[in-house]
A and B are shown apart, each in its own frame.
Chain A
Amino acid sequence: MGQGNDLTALTLAQARDGLRAKEFTARELTQSFVDRVAASEKLNAYILQTPEHALEAAERSDARLGADDARPLEGLPLGVKDLFCTRGVRTTACSNILGDFTPPYESKVTENLWADGALMLGKLNNDEFAMGSSNETSAYGACLNPWRTDAGEALVPGGSSGGSSAAIAARLGLAATATDTGGSIRQPAALTGTVGLKPTYGRCSRWGIVAFASSLDQAGPITRTVRDSAIMLTSMAGHDARDTTSVDMVVPDYEAALTGDIRGLRIGVPKEYRIDTMPLEIEALWQQGMDWLRDAGAEIVDVSLPHTKYALPAYYIIAPAEASSNLARYDGVRYGARKMGDDIDDMYARTRGEGFGEEVQRRLLIGTYALSAGYYDAYYLKALQVRRLIAQDFENAYEHCDLLLTPTTPSAAFPLDKGQSDPLEMYLNDVFTVTVNLAGLPGISVPAGLDAKGLPLGLQLIGKAFGEEELLRAAQVLEEAAGFSAKPDDWWTSS
């Protein structure tokens, strides 16, 4: 399938404008994506396709477009990470334990998107309960990165939002919803040459999103451009009375914030992110990023985030501890797949022993241990204290700068099965992203270049709390300067 007149080659903003200019219909646009999704099963990005949903909604959108009554996302087809509960559509968080769970409710974020006229192509693959950095822990099997080495070696799309990143890189939707607990939006975006935005904690409602770690989880978009992320966030964000950790602040028009003008903006470069193991090409790209931003009129300042080193260990206490409690509800009593046992406790143990995959089990055990009597102070409490120090590091740094620039990941996409032998090695993928979650800040990954093997690399910008406008503005400048236009060869479609 070529990309010439293919509607799937459009960005979300282009598709939106094309629909309004009546260059094509929502039905045509949607059909293009439905066909391409159906032809791309090899990637395993979608674990459930909902073409009827999408096409029906497209008809309604065409009626509105025809009546010049278009909503902000009218007729734009999206993919939805399987962590978002979707009314009447199976939602599993890619875990066997949820079986064929079909929510009688719709997550607030997706509800916002549908209310703005967007439509759903299907549910996207992810690491089971969003625990993973390669999408390999999914009960529906690994999702493949559309990018692969010249030798044709299969690579992971990152995780946990691997289905979302793969789908956007492979043009299987104009944008995708995703969630980020330790890097699950930004890392897969970096590994697939897409844009991934994790908003400030509290910017989007968590209501109806399968919880992993409540104090860290935040929804955001994966898109092909920064502008598309701005458009998506404008619809996804907002206060929700049903999530009292969501913040009651006006949602600005983020697209309008993309002025291209970052003159005078101070960009901090944290020295602690220069880790020993960082590949030279990533270090070079980072330097390149500084130059691009300086050339655009920003000022580059050195800053220090002294507790950076402790972010991963703190994260690997806090996230599993919260998860061990959040996932206690999967007990085979009210929904999901039950495995019968001799008695109730046996039923629990079998249901959870067979229903959860290995990585989820590992984290639940770590979390249970960290909260258990006698260990709480040494692990959990200590991690919460370190978390405050990490948050304070950012506050201190922001006295000297407005945004931070770092690499998104310590490496480009890696082959499947790489992390199987050592879970710790996999955890290191989050080293540059996890601090942002701990401090509740917004962060965005922008595709900035290719490594020696021709694989995409991303740079991360980190903003102040609720500073998404400034963040997106700088991200767009970075995006433009990088001029990332490489695309993966279309090796996966069958027709």
Chain B
Amino acid sequence: MTDKTTENANLIAGATGDWEIVIGLEVHAQVSSDAKLFSGAATTFGAEPNTQVSLVDAAMPGMLPVINWKCVEQAVRTGLGLKAQINRYSVFDRKNYFYPDLPQGYQISQYLQPIVGEGEIEIDLEGGDVKTIGIERLHLEQDAGKSLHDQHPDLSFVDLNRSGVALMEIVSRPDMRSAAEAQAYVKKLRAILRYLGTCDGNMEQGSLRADVNVSVRKPGGDLGTRCEIKNVNSIRFIGQAIEHEARRQVDIIEDGGEIDQETRLFDPKRGETRSMRSKEEAHDYRYFPDPDLLPLTFSAEFVEDIARALPELPDDKKNRFMQDYSLSAYDAGVLVSEAENADFFEQAAKGRDAKATANMVIGSVFAGLNKAGLSISESPVKAEQIGQLVDLMSDQTISSRIAKDVFDLMFDDGPDQGRDPADIVEEKGLKQVTDTGAIEAAVDEVIAANPDKVEQAKAKPKMAGWFVGQVMQATDGKANPQAVNQLVLAKLGIEDQ
């Protein structure tokens, strides 16, 4: 296993020696569905307060939950995507506690018998290493409403639009040993959920958020007391929170103190975690089976039907890209991070030089979109146009350098008036010069104008590159670089190396 080396590299140094961080994550992923888990109210983000609230969501007296079957399908789909055990009999329990944005005074969740059991995720680490992280369980539950504490000096405001929205709580094993591993886990989980279409993964809108359990121990020692950092809502913050929290715990232990098992909050402004004052009281959630809901059961065929319709997932796609397109693990990994990106690539690469297409997609398209803050679906350059551009390189109509310029022109065109690459090459006269006579004339000209450099080059063959550059400049970059190179070497009488 790669575990040993990875772990060792992850140790953090303390005054008494090295420490190991042990991390487990509970990710709350909002199920992609139009209506809530137990009511027909809408789930869209950003609506006016309390407009997406049914009588059920507001816990009016006598209201009863009715499960949204789509949410069940989504949980099963996700479970299959995590290669997990699907439990065809599961039970909804009530988790009882008081909070102003929890209208029923309990959250309907699944405690002892969740819909999905053990599974796993392979995470991609730097240097191409892969590590398997265990999934303990996935269960369905209701989201709470939202409390706003900063709108009024003496009051908190409650908006129940989120109340009752379906969540999947996905619990990992404490298998991660560094902030980077935890981040890789969330990235990979997010990618899988997005591939499956079971959660949009939007962390800014709270569709995906993580409770991070952190403890430290001497390498190989017993597990330490853990702290739970609640509701961390970005991958960057997850890293910061873990690093700060691990350091805090090491400092306390090394100062002779003890870690209190507690819930903490991450403050992004200060980059540190702090104890949650309101949750200090020991929790006693008094779970019991919800008598308003019968056990959740479904047939093996139901699971098989979902399994059959499962899309290709990131790991499989990556392997296929490496095999079918001879791409490096790195390139394949970058291309499959989002299903839409991979689709874009495949569309562009169809029947073409895949490696060149990958370079163009990663080096130009992704870079350009990133800079412009656009998503792949908003790309001004379409996949088919990237394909045409690669074709122009392959048949030597343009050089890769010119191709880059052509791409920039297409990108600047925007999506509406987007010219095809061939038109741009034609319009701007960017066609590569392959006529040896014309190139030879240009080479001769440069050699004649620089007798001193010729002497130097004969002594130091690397100088030949200078001549190539001069010729390329003289031809506005349109000369075929290989032809130029060969001619320069021949004329200078340097052996081709």
List the interface of chain A (C-beta within 8 A of B). 85, 91, 93, 98, 101, 103-105, 107, 206-211, 213-215, 241-245, 321-322, 324-325, 327-329, 331, 333-335, 344-345, 348, 368, 371-373, 376, 380
Q: How far is the CB of A148 from chain B (nearest CB, A)?
A: 34
B103 close to A244 (CB less than 8 A): no
Select the residue from B58, B64, B284, B292 with max chain A CB neighbours within 10 A. B64
Q: How far is the CB of A339 from chain B (nearest CB, A)?
A: 15
Given contacts A244-B294, A328-B96, A348-B98, contact A85 B64 (CB under 8 A): no
B62 close to A85 (CB less than 8 A): yes
A98 close to B61 (CB less than 8 A): yes
Residues of chain B with a CB closer than 8 A to A91's CB: 61
C-alpha gap A324/B287 in the complex (Å):
12
Residue of A nearest to B61 (CB): A210
Residue of A nearest to B282 (CB): A373
Q: How far is the CB of B222 from chain A (nearest CB, A)?
A: 24
Residue of B nearest to A93 (CB): B61
11 additional A-B residue pairs with CB within 8 Å, beyond A104-B55, A333-B158: A107-B62, A208-B62, A211-B61, A245-B64, A322-B291, A325-B96, A325-B105, A329-B104, A329-B105, A333-B100, A371-B288
Q: How far is the CB of A179 from chain B (nearest CB, A)?
A: 11
Where chain A touches its partner, the secondary structure class is loop
B64 close to A243 (CB less than 8 A): yes
B61 close to A101 (CB less than 8 A): yes
Task: Check if B47 is an interface residue, CB within 8 A of chain A.
Answer: no
C-alpha gap A285/B288 in the complex (Å):
42
A331 close to B94 (CB less than 8 A): no
A215 close to B291 (CB less than 8 A): yes
Given contacts A105-B55, A214-B292, A242-B66, contact A331 B286 (CB under 8 A): no
Q: Residue-by-residue, is B33-68 near A (CB-CB < 8 Å gives 1, otherwise 0)?
A: 000000000000000000000010011111111110
Residue of A nearest to B94 (CB): A325
Q: How far is the CB of A442 from chain B (nearest CB, A)?
A: 19
Residues of chain A with a CB closer than 8 A to B286's CB: 324-325, 368, 371-373, 376
Q: How far is the CB of A378 from chain B (nearest CB, A)?
A: 14
Residues of chain A with a CB closer than 8 A to B130's CB: none
C-alpha gap A174/B231 in the complex (Å):
57
Residues of chain A with a CB closer than 8 A to B104's CB: 328-329
A328 close to B294 (CB less than 8 A): no
Given contacts A107-B62, A211-B61, contact A331 B284 (CB under 8 A): no
Task: Check if B237 is an interface residue, CB within 8 A of chain A.
Answer: no
Residues of chain A with a CB closer than 8 A to B94's CB: 325
C-alpha gap A344/B158 in the complex (Å):
13
A206 close to B64 (CB less than 8 A): yes
Q: Residue-by-residue, is B121-164 near A (CB-CB < 8 Å gives 1, otherwise 0)?
A: 00000000000000000000000000000000000101000000
Residue of A nearest to B53 (CB): A334
A372 close to B98 (CB less than 8 A): no
Task: Check if B293 is an interface residue, CB within 8 A of chain A.
Answer: yes
Given contacts A325-B96, A348-B98, contact A214 B103 (CB under 8 A): no
C-alpha gap A242/B39 in the complex (Å):
9
How many A-B residue pairs lie within 8 Å, measured between CB atoms?
94
A328 close to B98 (CB less than 8 A): yes
Residues of chain B with a CB closer than 8 A to A214's CB: 290-292
Residues of chain A with a CB closer than 8 A to B63's CB: 207-208
B61 close to A329 (CB less than 8 A): yes
B288 close to A331 (CB less than 8 A): no
Residue of B nearest to A318 (CB): B291
Residue of A nearest to B105 (CB): A328
Residues of chain B with a CB closer than 8 A to A331's CB: 98, 100, 105
A209 close to B62 (CB less than 8 A): yes
Task: Check if B106 is an interface residue, CB within 8 A of chain A.
Answer: yes
Residues of chain B with a CB closer than 8 A to A103's CB: 60-61
B62 close to A206 (CB less than 8 A): yes
Residue of B nearest to A209 (CB): B62
Residues of chain A with a CB closer than 8 A to B55's CB: 104-105
Q: How far is the CB of B206 from chain A (nearest CB, A)?
A: 22
Residues of chain B with a CB closer than 8 A to A101's CB: 61
Given contacts A325-B105, A334-B103, contact A207 B62 (CB under 8 A): yes
A241 close to B66 (CB less than 8 A): yes
A85 close to B61 (CB less than 8 A): yes
Residues of chain A with a CB closer than 8 A to B66's CB: 241-242, 244
A373 close to B105 (CB less than 8 A): no
Q: How far is the CB of A438 from chain B (nearest CB, A)?
A: 13
Residues of chain B with a CB closer than 8 A to A327's CB: 105
Q: Identify 11 residue pairs between A and B in the complex whose beta-carbon atoms are under 8 Å apart, listed by A's number.
A: A85-B61, A98-B61, A103-B61, A209-B62, A210-B61, A241-B66, A329-B61, A334-B58, A334-B60, A345-B98, A372-B284
C-alpha gap A215/B94 in the complex (Å):
14
Residues of chain A with a CB closer than 8 A to B288's CB: 321, 325, 371, 376, 380
Determine which of B59, B62, B106, B284 lies in contact with A373 in the assembled complex, contact meaning CB atoms within 8 Å.
Answer: B284
Listed from nearest, the 8 A-B pairs whose CB atoms lie closest are A328-B105, A371-B286, A214-B291, A215-B291, A329-B59, A208-B62, A210-B61, A373-B284
Q: How far is the CB of B228 from chain A (nearest CB, A)?
A: 18
Q: How far is the CB of A53 from chain B (nearest CB, A)?
A: 20
Please provide the chain B residues from 241 to 300 with a CB less than 8 Å away from any CB of chain A in the complex: 284, 286-288, 290-294
Q: Residue-by-residue, is B88-109 near A (CB-CB < 8 Å gives 1, otherwise 0)?
A: 0000001010101001111000
B98 close to A245 (CB less than 8 A): no
C-alpha gap A36/B98 in the complex (Å):
45
Q: How far is the CB of A356 from chain B (nearest CB, A)?
A: 13
Residues of chain A with a CB closer than 8 A to B156's CB: 344
Residue of B nearest to A91 (CB): B61
Given contacts A244-B294, A245-B294, A329-B105, contact A335 B284 (CB under 8 A): no
Residue of B nearest to A321 (CB): B288
Select the residue from B60, B94, B105, B286 with max chain A CB neighbours within 10 A. B286
C-alpha gap A328/B94 in the complex (Å):
11
B100 close to A344 (CB less than 8 A): yes
C-alpha gap A26/B334 in the complex (Å):
78
C-alpha gap A98/B62 in the complex (Å):
13
C-alpha gap A345/B98 in the complex (Å):
8
Residue of B nearest to A217 (CB): B291
Residues of chain B with a CB closer than 8 A to A210's CB: 61-62
C-alpha gap A372/B96 in the complex (Å):
10
Residue of B nearest to A216 (CB): B291
Residues of chain B with a CB closer than 8 A to A93's CB: 61
Determine which of A98, A215, A242, A321 lies in contact with B64 in the assembled complex, contact meaning CB atoms within 8 Å.
Answer: A242
Q: How far is the CB of B277 from chain A (nearest CB, A)?
A: 11
Residues of chain B with a CB closer than 8 A to A368's CB: 286
C-alpha gap A141/B54 in the complex (Å):
34
Residues of chain B with a CB closer than 8 A to A345's CB: 98
Please provide the chain B residues from 61 to 80 with a CB less than 8 Å away from any CB of chain A in the complex: 61-67
Residues of chain B with a CB closer than 8 A to A209's CB: 62
C-alpha gap A325/B286 in the complex (Å):
9
C-alpha gap A244/B100 in the complex (Å):
27
C-alpha gap A207/B66 in the complex (Å):
11
Q: Residue-by-residue, is B367-394 near A (CB-CB < 8 Å gives 1, otherwise 0)?
A: 0000000000000000000000000000
C-alpha gap A424/B284 in the complex (Å):
28
C-alpha gap A101/B59 in the complex (Å):
13
Residues of chain B with a CB closer than 8 A to A213's CB: 291
Determine which of B62, B100, B106, B284 lies in contact with A211 in the assembled complex, contact meaning CB atoms within 8 Å.
Answer: B62
C-alpha gap A103/B67 in the complex (Å):
23
Q: How far is the CB of A329 from chain B (nearest CB, A)?
A: 4
Residues of chain A with a CB closer than 8 A to B287's CB: 371, 376
Determine which of B62, B65, B103 lies in contact with A333 in the assembled complex, contact meaning CB atoms within 8 Å.
Answer: B103
C-alpha gap A103/B66 in the complex (Å):
20
Q: How far is the CB of A366 from chain B (nearest CB, A)?
A: 13
Residues of chain B with a CB closer than 8 A to A322's CB: 291
Residues of chain B with a CB closer than 8 A to A328's CB: 96, 98, 104-106
Q: How far is the CB of B346 from chain A (nearest CB, A)?
A: 44
Residues of chain B with a CB closer than 8 A to A85's CB: 60-62
Residues of chain B with a CB closer than 8 A to A372's CB: 284, 286
Select the residue from A98, A368, A371 with max chain B CB neighbours within 10 A. A371
